[in-house]
Structure 1
Amino acid sequence: MLGRKSNGAAQVQPTAPVPAQSFRFATPVVQTPGVFVLAGWVWRLARFLLALPFRFPVAVGTVAASAALWHYTGWVGLAVGWSIADLALLVWWRRWPRSFRDVVALRVLAAWRWAWIYQRHWQPVLVVAGLAESYLERQYLPQIRGVTCSAWADRVRVRLVAGTSPAEFEGRVAELAHGFGAPSCRVEVRGPRDVVLEFPRYDTLADPIDALPIPEEPDFSALPVGVCEDGEVWTLRLHGTHVLTVGMTGAGKGSVLWSAIRAMASAIEAGIAEVWAIDPKRMELSYGRALFARYADDGESAVALLEAAVAAMQERAERYAGRQRIHTPTTRDPFTVIVLDEVAFLTAYHPDRDIRRRAENAIATLTSQGRSVGFCVLAALQDPRKEVLNLRNLFPDKIALRLDEASQVDMVLGEGARDRGANAHLIDPELPGVGFVKLEGSPVPVRVRAAFVSDADIDHMTATTAGTGE
């Protein structure tokens, strides 16, 4: 019966909610027949054996030839055959060491490193680095398509898992380098789902580089200034462009500037090139002052030099208008390089606002109009932030030496450069002149080292090359 309230109203008893009924159906477990498991193993083994002659043709051919020789001639014939082959390899190695290294030694090294370094550690390194993908409780790994070795580095060609991008590898270069015991790692994209991981085996730029020989007929589009990581000569293009070198104090900016000047020494002597130098520190460029057509070392004289360069450039452009589109260096119109050390002194740090404004205007005019008429600005800077130099985008070519922060790498070399392995912020302070550049036609940063031009080298240049010394 319902209870009654004192006021006569019927008291309603609360009704407890009825929980929703849940029904769980057991998922049937179907055992895969053993014949299918065995067929899968047989298929993988057959695929591996069929791929062996294509992946390791020399090794498979050697084993096949040895087996055939043993079958037809016995152990004695096999021993004689191997002795003759060893003697031929020894003669090849002693007589033609370069071709022996390229054809034999590096191939053997690549096979060994594929099996012992990369294939053996591939799964744990990629799983720990977060590069393994999972789908329906199955793990998918990028596949190694091949390993090739050069004299200094391993190049591992990788096929990506469908649905992933090279950016995932670019964001894990540090993990990959440490995982495979390499000094660094760089990622090169070759096509859809096709990337190459480059692992240097040792630092080829650890030792200082002496000043390079002076070219007798310098090519202003390819001046030798140092060495690339692969051992090739690093050439710097000045004619038709402008170059900005960025690096901390002691990073080796002077090596880049002096190597470029040294490469032009014979042209300066012939009168078809000239250097106008600005040296606010009065230390770096003043030692070779006699080499320069014009020289300035304080704010007012530096701005006057820049404005004089603008006037000379505009006068030359007026003469070329409607008559000539390409500049050819001559004694009348020499290739003019304005070497500007510590450019931030003029654009950001000088106490006189008018000096800063005039300097910025002159540099902007030179970098935006000077390339076609044979004027080049070769500048050096410590801090690449926009508030220090908001004209850095007017320099088509940039060099990143040792930098202070990771974010500065992309400021100098462009977005994504650090992800591709240009770790300029991790360069050892004991390696002045080491840096990263982007060579023309390739987005992959290249590690380089500028040659060191000593005081004795500068003395020799000043003794044999004469500038006006204004």
Structure 2
Amino acid sequence: MFRKLPGDETRNLVSTTPDTAVVFRPAVVKTPAIVTIVIWLSRLFAGLARLVVRHPVAVALLVAFGVVWTLYGWRQALVLTGFLPSAGLSWALLDRASFLRLIGWRLLAFWRRVWIYRRHWQPVMIVSGLGRHLQGRDYLPRLVCVECDGWADRVTVRMLSGQAVTDWANRTDHLAHGFGSPSCRVTVAKAGRLVLTFPRRDPLAEPLPAVPIPETADVGAVEIGQCEDGTPYRLKVHGTHVLIAGATGAGKGSWLWSTIRGLLPAMRAGLVQVWALDPKRMELSFGRALFGARYAADPKECADLLDDAVSVMQERADRFAGLQRSHTPTVADPFVLVLVDEVAFLTAYQSDKQLRQRITAALATLTTQGRAVGVGVMAALQDPRKEVMNIRNLFPDKIALRLDESEQVDMVLGDGARDRGALADHISPVPERGAGVGYVRLETSPDPVRVRAAYVSDVDIREMVAEYSGRSEVA
């Protein structure tokens, strides 16, 4: 016997007959046809509007083809079909940059959105755990748009309600392999939206020649090399402190010498002084003549030079107190940049305990009080562990070159940096491909930027010494 009960009446049913089957018949609400039509039309118009906004080039081409076919017939439409590729090819040959900016990258973004991301979106989201399949329905993050440039795709995603950025940062490997990219980086666009960067190639695979020496004396940001997007990278050294960490052969010297190279005109003008500490006696000693008396290699001499820098800092602080809160480089009060090539040798591996304490105390004093009075520190080291460098958190700006272990990335750049795409442990150990490549995390931005510093060769350093050592425009 079967009984059909509407609504929730089944919960009140008590049956003592074992062969009685209860069939639930849900209540049916009939929607007026006009409501269905209005909803369908609104969704259609909204979809067309999104299509025009996201793919204006493709839509314009289709509309132009249809208009010509309607007004002039199919023959003229075929002529237009053959003319457009020829015109586009001519434009690309005559002005490639504008063609790519206005047409090329948009068409590539349309193609990759349809063929790569939209086609694989559902399985990648479900398998990686970023989507959910519940009761026969898929709940997926929304693919908002895809933008392309010369080296990467940038995919804007709207997260599901309740998701966090860490949910995506912990699955960058899944996303990269799912969409056929060597890596994936996650950045926050705004609340609820992320930008996933999928590189298509590595523009930093080839070494960069030394950056030309600036023509003017400027103590602003120094051009070091090139960012991953092809733009020049400028590193701020005045008003901050910089820590560079990398394994042996990672290219720390490229960052040090590129910084010196960019400051040479200001050094000649008397606006900058570079104080060099070179305990290994290998890297900075090659251009020792550029530093004059402000060069130290022996640990005791290094400690004395750091104490002198502290004295300069304290003397300026006494004079500036109550008068100014920031430093402007002048000939009377130049910007002092203290370069330390292998700081771990002085702070951890030095056998003399008193020297270790003096050096650590001086570096701590400079990194906590030197920014406002124009004394900066740029230190390089190989081992970023806290017991080796216990004041690493006093450096606002940090650079991670090639590192041996994945845990070291967060030691250098801060918690979560590797999850955001700073894969410093994956940088190639081959010097031609990986030397000088690193991830920069600035005080003003939590997102790491991949950069390659230009290679300053021995010949370049000799020319710098010959041109700028022992001569100054200021007496």
Asked whether the two chains share a fold, i.e. TM above 0.5, the reply is yes
* Equivalent position of 1:256 in the other structure: 255
CA distance in 2, matches of 1:407, 1:371: 29
Deviations 1:247-285 (A, max 9, x none): 111111111111101111111122221111111111111
Deviation digits for residues 184-242 of structure 1 (CA, Å, limit 9, x no counterpart): 11111112221111111100100001110111224333100111101111111111111
State the match for 2:325 in structure 1: 325
Cross-structure match for 2:220: 221
Matches within 5 A, 1:23-38: 28=24
Q: CA deviation at 1:66?
A: 1.1
Secondary structure at the aligned position of 2:209 is classed as coil
Of 93-102 and 225-234, the range deviating more from structure 2: 93-102
1:48 positional shift: 4.6
Match of 1:297 in 2: 297
Q: Return the letter of the residue paired with 1:464.
A: E
Q: Which residue is equivalent to 1:434?
A: 437
Question: What is the distance in 2 between the residues matched to 1:183 and 1:235?
Answer: 26
Equivalent residue, structure 1, for 2:235:
236
| Structure 2 residue matching 1:331: 3-state secondary structure | coil
Q: Deviations over 1:353-410 (max 9, x none)?
A: 1010000111111111111121111100112222111111111111111112222212
Asked whether the equivalents of residues 220 and 236 of structure 2 are also in contact (C-alpha less than 8 Å), the reply is yes
Aligned to 2:54: 55
Q: Deviation of residue 93 (structure 1)?
A: 2.3
CA contact (8 A) 2:210 2:258 kept: yes
Are 1:445 and 2:448 counterparts? yes
Contact 1:255 1:433 in 2 (8 A): yes
| Cα separation, partners in 2 of 1:348 and 1:440, compared to 1, 3 Å | closer
Structure 1 residue 203 and structure 2 residue 202: aligned? yes
Check the 8 A contact 2:208/2:454 in 1, yes or no. Answer: yes
Q: Distance in 1 between matches of 2:197 and 2:28?
A: 41
Cα separation, 2, equivalents of 1:220 and 1:467: 20
Distance 2:162 2:423 in 1: 27
Task: Provide the C-alpha distance between the structure 2 equivalents of 1:218 and 1:137, rounded to a whole number of angstroms.
Answer: 67
2:219–2:272: 8 Å Cα contact kept in structure 1?
A: no
Structure of greater Rg: 1
Work out whether residues 248 and 382 of structure 1, in 8 Å CA contact, stay in contact via their aligned partners in 2.
yes
Q: 1:273 to 1:49 in 2, by over 3 A?
A: closer
Q: Which residue of 1 aligns with 2:181?
A: 182
Which residue of structure 1 aligns with residue 403 of structure 2?
403
1:67-466 aligned at under 5 Å gives the runs: 67-293=66-292, 294-430=294-430, 431-439=434-442, 441-466=444-469
CA 1:334/1:419 → structure 2, altered by over 3 Å: closer, same or farther?
same
CA distance in 1 between counterparts of 2:25 and 2:344 reads 72
Q: Cα 1:98–1:31, aligned 2, differ >3 Å: closer, same or farther?
A: farther
Q: How many Å separate the matches in 1 of 2:386 and 2:286?
A: 31
Q: Please state how far the C-alpha of 1:89 moved relative to its aligned partner.
A: 2.6
Q: Quick one: distance in 1 between partners of 2:361 and 2:219?
A: 26
Assess, with a 3 A threshold, how the Cα gap between structure 1 residues 366 and 441 changes in structure 2: closer, same or farther: closer
User: Does the residue aligned with 1:276 lie in a helix, a strand or coil?
Assistant: strand
Code of the aligned partner of 2:166: A
Letter in 2 for 1:93: A
Percent identical among aligned pairs is: 53
What is the CA-CA distance between 1:316 and the residue it aligns to?
A: 2.5
Instruction: Assess if the C-alpha contact under 8 Å between 1:218 and 1:267 holds in 2.
Output: yes
User: Following TM superposition, by how much is the alpha carbon of 1:50 offset from its aligned partner in structure 2, in angstroms?
Assistant: 5.8
Superposition deviation, residue 49 in structure 1? 5.1
Distance 1:363 1:63, change over 3 A: same
Shift of 1:317: 2.4
Change (3 A) 1:105 1:308: same
Task: Give the AA of the match of 2:208.
Answer: I
Tell me the alpha carbon deviations over residues 28-50 of structure 1, each in whole angstroms, 9 at most, x when there is no partner: 487999x99xx899787776556
- Unpaired runs of 5+ residues, structure 1, are 1-20
Show the counterpart of 1:5: none
- 453-462 vs 296-305, which moves further: 296-305
Q: What secondary structure sits across from 1:349 in the alignment?
A: coil
What letter corresponds to residue 436 of structure 1 in structure 2? Y
- Deviation, 1:326, is 3.0
Amino acid at match of 1:463: A
Given residue 211 of structure 1, which amino acid in structure 2 is its aligned partner?
A
Query: Aligned partners of 2:147, 2:337: CA distance in 1, in Å?
Result: 42
Q: 1:60 to 1:322 in 2, by over 3 A?
A: closer
SS of 2:248's equivalent in the other structure is coil
Structure 1: distance between partners of 2:162 and 2:85: 48
CA contact (8 A) 2:219 2:266 kept: no
| C-alpha separation in 2, matches of 1:50 and 1:388 | 58
Q: Classify 1:25/1:216 alpha carbon distance in 2 versus 1 (closer, same or farther; 3 Å).
A: farther
Distance 1:434 1:401 in 2: 6
Q: Is the 8 A contact 2:219 2:329 kept in 1?
A: no
Residue correspondences, number: 445
- In the alignment, the residues of structure 1 paired with residue 47 and residue 442 of structure 2 have an alpha-carbon distance, to the nearest angstrom, of 39
Aligned to 2:7: none
**In structure 2, do the counterparts of structure 1 residues 306 and 50 end up closer, same or farther at CA, with 3 Å as the change threshold?**
closer
The one-letter amino acid paired with 1:373 is V
CA contact (8 A) 1:222 1:235 kept: yes
SS of the residue aligned with 2:449? strand
Given that 2:157 and 2:196 are in contact with CA atoms closer than 8 Å, whether structure 1 keeps it comes out as yes
Task: Specify the SS of the correspondent of 1:264.
Answer: helix
**Maintained 8 Å contact 1:292/1:467:** no
The change in CA–CA distance for 1:51 and 1:226 in structure 2 (over 3 A counts) is closer
The question of whether the paired residues in 2 share the 8 Å contact of 1:279 and 1:285 is answered with yes
Distance change in 2, residues 1:197/1:140 (3 Å): same
Indicate if the aligned counterparts of 1:275 and 1:292 stay in contact, CA closer than 8 A.
Answer: yes
Closer/same/farther in 2, CA of residues 321 and 53 from structure 1, 3 Å limit: closer
Please identify, of 23-32 and 451-460, the stretch whose mean Cα deviation from structure 2 is larger: 23-32
TM-score normalised over the length of structure 1: 0.88
For 1:452, the aligned partner's letter is Y
How far the C-alpha of 1:412 sits from its partner, in A, is 1.5
